[in-house]
A and B are shown apart, each in its own frame.
Chain A
Amino acid sequence: MRSIRNGLVLALGITMTAFGLAACGGDDGGTPAASDPNAKVELSLATFTEFGYEELIPEYERLHPNIKITHRKTGQGGPYHQDLITKLAAGSGLADVSAVEEGHLSNVLDKGSKFNDLTKIGPAEASPDRWLGWKYDAAKTKDGKVIGYGTDIGPLAMCYRKDMLEAAGMPSDPEAVKPLFATWDSYFAAGEQYVAKTGGKAWFDSAAQNFNAMVNQLPTGYIGGDDKLAVESNQGIKDAWTKVTGAVAKGQSAKLTAFSNEWNSGFKQGAFATKVCPAWMLGVIEEHSGPENAGKWAVTAAFPGGGGNWGGSYLTVPTQSKHPKEAAELAAWLTAPEQQIKAFKAKGTFPSQVKALEDPALLSETDAYFGGAKIGQLFAEQAKKVAKPQYKGPGDGQIQENASSPALQAVEQGKSADEGWTQLLDAAKKITR
């Protein structure tokens, strides 16, 4: 009797193991590169957060009956890029079309040999003039390979609390505030005014938000054209540092780390009056501020220093792919203006394609939460203000994430500006050693 029970347990164990083994998806790869254009091809596409491709995938499959697409979505960019690095290191497992975020682009460009040159394998219509110049050029390796087709962008504008500026006796209409946000100097000067008039309330949420935008506008960034660290010799960066830490010292910063828990709460608590605002930030502001603050936030087509960009991604075709040509075609199709507009309508990803920026559907887009502002037009305008892309050498993204942002956080937490600068330098040197 007992042996029957034991036997059952064993059988259960074996069955489950067998079930598990049988449930294997079994990665046996697609058919080898076929000369027959109608041979079945399986492509994999990997993205993170929301690209808005849910409807587009079936559409592509309908247009190309011999192609089957598996779409692998990861919720957040962090785990996605860890997975990317793992598979890059392991030499296998990358999807045929792999998305890469702007912040990680510099590392990927450094490993350019692991990605296909899309000018060679991509269709002719995916030509450089399809995209905004700065977006297209940013994905070029040093030897001129283009490894990514641009998907979306995050053109910068300035978002602000109308009611809070009004209460401080400052102009609050989107046109009237433009002079305040014309240059960084005028921005921080307005901040000083605001702090004085409100008896100490914060002007902006986080020093790092401003600093990153400022550094991105410089002709040279953290890394020089020779791929060596340029921070020490770069006066622009030092000036930006001085200005921002000066503003922090004068109480202009709410000292919140972007996307942290307290930053989330900060919106509802009205912790700051202005905010560096890429196109995708509007949804975030709305969700965090809640319905009770509807209409209090506004956005204006001005940004200190002209324009800028934060965020956005590219679709790449790694050399690991067994069907590079088909993958490039898929990537090109997905990043065509028509498809990007559809993605925009689905998930709000702001297009980087020139034709899409002229599309009436985009230009007529408004946002009720921001007082009915014509945000499509606004951000399209801002997108055009971005100058040529800054060269992002290897380690650039890390320096921003792990050297300058933490250093600014430390200053906001009480370190002196000089100590913070030393910390930034040390960390940056380490990253690029």
Chain B
Amino acid sequence: MTTIHSGLKRGVSALGKPRRVTYVVLTIFVLGSLFPFYWSFLVASRDSGMLTERVPPFLPGGNFFANAARVFDTVPFWKALANSLIVSGTVTLTTVLFSALAGFAFAKLRFRGRNGLFVFIVITLAVPTQLGIIPLFMAMSEFGWAGGLQSVIVPNLVTAFGVFWMRQYTLDAVPYELIEAARVDGCSMIRIFWNVCLPAVRPAAAILAMFTFMTSWNDFLWPLVVLDAGNPTVQLALEKLQSGYYVDYSLVLAGTTLATIPILIVFLLLGRQIVAGIMQGAVKG
């Protein structure tokens, strides 16, 4: 008995504690991931000339703040940041909420047409979107939304990707027993969703939030077409930095570095949410 127990303890810690090689591999990955950011900062802190050097320098120069200041002088960066935050923030909130809702329905509730409707949603992912901007622009003009932020928000309120993802995750993450228990307790559907399902799918929701925020933040072509001149998002403002036949990359990359900071903040905030499911252990005999 004791041997099994101590073996189990050892086994579990062997399960949990990572070996050194794990850290090594992860470090290599993260270094590879970080490199472009460091490199962007490098160029932003020097001047564009370094891009054409045979052997590029490795240490940052002192120009970053000067270049950053130029960014703010050249384009309405604060306004663009604010617009992007509104757009991406709203889209993220609604996408996560509605995707979790639909995911819950598709994963755990039975209703007529469930499978067919779900397959339909997944199939819509396969449609190439490049041409869509023409009819979408026509639609936005019809509604009188062209030019304003709602034209960028409404088309992205909920995505097929989000619904698909939340449904897959909800399938295994929310045990029927819990739902049944709540049902027996007399909870309405919406309370079951809010109190049982949502907490269980928190990690997936966090990841979906990160992805949605980032995709929305980096969106360029549609905002270019539909937004007014005075109402840019961050990517539009950044593009304006690339003006002319000669592009000053130290300015552009200073801009992109600045534009990445909000994403990093969102990442760090949401990254913590990707923890082991808190519903484990909730279903015990």
Within the complex, are A and B direct neighbours (CB within 8 Å)?
yes
B52 touches A16 (CB 8 A): no
Collect the chain A residues with CB atoms within 8 Å of residue B141's CB. Answer: 27, 90, 92-93
Give the residues from 135 to 171 in chain B that come closer than 8 angstroms, CB to CB, to chain A. Answer: 135, 137-138, 141, 144-150, 153
Q: Number of B interface residues, CB 8 Å?
A: 48
> B87 at the A/B interface (Cβ < 8 Å)?
yes
Docked pose: A17 CA to B141 CA in angstroms:
20
Give the residues from 279 to 313 in chain A that come closer than 8 angstroms, CB to CB, to chain B. Answer: 280-281, 283-284, 287-288, 290
Say whether, besides A16-B93, A44-B229, A264-B52, A23 and B86 are in contact (CB < 8 Å).
yes
Say whether, besides A71-B229, A86-B225, A20 and B86 are in contact (CB < 8 Å).
yes
Give the nearest-CB partner of A281 in chain B.
Answer: B245
Say whether, besides A20-B149, A27-B146, A290 and B52 are in contact (CB < 8 Å).
yes
B137 touches A87 (CB 8 A): yes
Collect the chain B residues with CB atoms within 8 Å of residue A284's CB. Answer: 245-246
> A372 at the A/B interface (Cβ < 8 Å)?
no
> B257 at the A/B interface (Cβ < 8 Å)?
no
B145 touches A24 (CB 8 A): yes
A75 touches B90 (CB 8 A): no
Say whether, besides A26-B144, A86-B225, A21 and B246 are in contact (CB < 8 Å).
no
A17 touches B221 (CB 8 A): no
Say whether, besides A17-B153, A79-B224, A86-B133, A72 and B144 are in contact (CB < 8 Å).
no
Docked pose: A318 CA to B243 CA in angstroms:
24
> B97 at the A/B interface (Cβ < 8 Å)?
yes
Contacting B243 at CB < 8 Å: which of A6, A26, A50, A86? Answer: A50
User: What are 24 A-to-B residue pairs whose CB atoms are below 8 Å?
Assistant: A13-B93, A13-B97, A20-B149, A23-B231, A24-B148, A24-B150, A27-B228, A50-B243, A73-B240, A75-B239, A79-B221, A79-B224, A79-B239, A82-B221, A86-B225, A93-B225, A264-B51, A265-B51, A268-B49, A268-B52, A269-B54, A287-B48, A288-B246, A347-B244
Collect the chain A residues with CB atoms within 8 Å of residue B89's CB. Answer: 16
> A143 at the A/B interface (Cβ < 8 Å)?
no
Give the nearest-CB partner of A95 in chain B.
Answer: B229
B52 touches A265 (CB 8 A): yes
A283 touches B246 (CB 8 A): yes
Give the residues from 219 to 253 in chain B that come closer than 8 angstroms, CB to CB, to chain A. Answer: 220-221, 224-225, 227-231, 239-246, 248
Give the nearest-CB partner of B238 in chain A.
Answer: A75
Docked pose: A6 CA to B190 CA in angstroms:
13
> B83 at the A/B interface (Cβ < 8 Å)?
yes
Give the residues from 16 to 66 in chain B that come closer than 8 angstroms, CB to CB, to chain A. Answer: 48-49, 51-54
Contacting A267 at CB < 8 Å: which of B52, B149, B240? Answer: B52
Whole-angstrom distance between the Cβ of A103 and the nearest chain B Cβ: 13
> B176 at the A/B interface (Cβ < 8 Å)?
no
Whole-angstrom distance between the Cβ of A54 and the nearest chain B Cβ: 11
A23 touches B52 (CB 8 A): no
Where the two chains meet, the residues of A that have a C-beta atom closer than 8 Å to any C-beta of B are 2, 6, 9, 12-13, 16-17, 19-21, 23-28, 44, 49-50, 70-76, 79, 82-83, 86-87, 89-93, 261, 264-265, 267-269, 280-281, 283-284, 287-288, 290, 347
Say whether, besides A268-B52, A287-B48, A23 and B83 are in contact (CB < 8 Å).
yes
Contacting B149 at CB < 8 Å: which of A24, A91, A280? Answer: A24
B228 touches A91 (CB 8 A): no
Contacting B148 at CB < 8 Å: which of A27, A73, A75? Answer: A27
B246 touches A23 (CB 8 A): no
Docked pose: A72 CA to B76 CA in angstroms:
13
Whole-angstrom distance between the Cβ of A58 and the nearest chain B Cβ: 15
B224 touches A74 (CB 8 A): yes
Main secondary structure of the interface of B (DSSP, over half): helix
Task: Identify 19 new A-B residue pairs, CB closer than 8 A, beyond the known A6-B194, A17-B90, A20-B149.
Answer: A13-B93, A20-B86, A23-B231, A28-B144, A49-B245, A70-B229, A70-B230, A72-B229, A73-B243, A75-B242, A79-B224, A86-B225, A90-B141, A91-B138, A93-B141, A264-B52, A283-B245, A284-B245, A347-B244
Docked pose: A281 CA to B245 CA in angstroms:
8
A27 touches B144 (CB 8 A): yes
Give the nearest-CB partner of B145 in chain A.
Answer: A24
B229 touches A21 (CB 8 A): no
Collect the chain B residues with CB atoms within 8 Å of residue A49's CB. Answer: 243-245
Docked pose: A23 CA to B228 CA in angstroms:
11
Whole-angstrom distance between the Cβ of B253 and the nearest chain A Cβ: 14
Docked pose: A92 CA to B145 CA in angstroms:
13
Collect the chain B residues with CB atoms within 8 Å of residue A25's CB. Answer: 147-148, 227-228, 230-231
B221 touches A90 (CB 8 A): no
Docked pose: A9 CA to B96 CA in angstroms:
12
Whole-angstrom distance between the Cβ of A152 and the nearest chain B Cβ: 12
Q: Which 4 A-B pairs have the closest CB atoms?
A: A24-B148, A72-B229, A27-B147, A75-B242
Whole-angstrom distance between the Cβ of B40 and the nearest chain A Cβ: 15
B240 touches A74 (CB 8 A): yes
Docked pose: A93 CA to B135 CA in angstroms:
13
> B218 at the A/B interface (Cβ < 8 Å)?
no
Give the nearest-CB partner of A71 in chain B.
Answer: B229
B239 touches A20 (CB 8 A): no
A16 touches B244 (CB 8 A): no
Give the nearest-CB partner of A286 in chain B.
Answer: B246
Collect the chain A residues with CB atoms within 8 Å of residue B86's CB. Answer: 16, 19-20, 23
Collect the chain B residues with CB atoms within 8 Å of residue A87's CB. Answer: 137, 225
Give the nearest-CB partner of B54 in chain A.
Answer: A269
Whole-angstrom distance between the Cβ of B159 and the nearest chain A Cβ: 16
Collect the chain A residues with CB atoms within 8 Å of residue B53's CB. Answer: 268
Docked pose: A324 CA to B227 CA in angstroms:
22
A20 touches B150 (CB 8 A): yes
Collect the chain B residues with CB atoms within 8 Å of residue A269's CB. Answer: 52, 54
Collect the chain A residues with CB atoms within 8 Å of residue B49's CB. Answer: 268, 290
B241 touches A75 (CB 8 A): yes
Which of A23, A44, A73, A82 is most buried by chain B, counting CB atoms within 10 A of its CB?
A23
Collect the chain B residues with CB atoms within 8 Å of residue A91's CB. Answer: 138
Say whether, besides A13-B97, A25-B148, A79-B221, A288 and B52 are in contact (CB < 8 Å).
yes
Docked pose: A83 CA to B86 CA in angstroms:
24
Give the nearest-CB partner of A92 in chain B.
Answer: B141
A21 touches B134 (CB 8 A): no
Docked pose: A264 CA to B54 CA in angstroms:
12
Docked pose: A9 CA to B93 CA in angstroms:
9
Docked pose: A6 CA to B194 CA in angstroms:
9
Give the nearest-CB partner of A287 in chain B.
Answer: B246
A83 touches B225 (CB 8 A): yes
